[in-house]
Amino acid sequence: MLTCTVPEYRDIPTPRGFEIEDGEWRCDPEMYRSFLERVAGGTPPFGCGGDCYVVGTRIEGLIERHKANGEWTDELPDRYPDVESRDEIEALAVFLRACESDHGPSEETALWAGTQQP
């Protein structure tokens, strides 16, 4: 389970797989593992500290690409494993960016993201 501080700057989505409890926003990324692997193009470690930024950014890019192509429809989640709604896709992007903001990059995930040489 990943947790992050509840961002104050926006309404917080809580679709399937997300919850807010005791001032923390929580998500179990294992619920979305196949989707995250497909969008991320690999098998990232599912802890924050760099990978949240990379995966969150790739999800944001996916959203923007589908919007630009007129494909951001209710049928879109049918193309991807483990997601049932556009709300889940958007919540993942926002959550992962908020998580990264809380935890920052680690050496391991910087290597995975290609931002450091081994």
pLDDT of residue 85: 93
Cβ neighbors of 38 (< 8 A, separation 6 or more) are 80, 81
Across residues 90-103, what is the average pLDDT? 82
Question: Looking at the chain, how many residues does it have?
Answer: 118
Share of the chain above pLDDT 70, in %: 75
Q: 61-80 pLDDT, tens per residue?
A: 999 999 999 999 999 999 99
> CA–CA separation, 117 vs 34, rounded Å?
27
Our measurement of the distance from residue 39's CA atom to the centroid of its chain's CA atoms, rounded to an integer in Å, reads 10
> CA–CA separation, 110 vs 75, rounded Å?
34
pLDDT of residue 104: 62
Kindly state the tokens that stand for 50.
């760099």
> CA–CA separation, 58 vs 90, rounded Å?
12
> CA–CA separation, 53 vs 100, rounded Å?
6
**Which of the pair, 54 or 59, is modelled with greater confidence?**
59
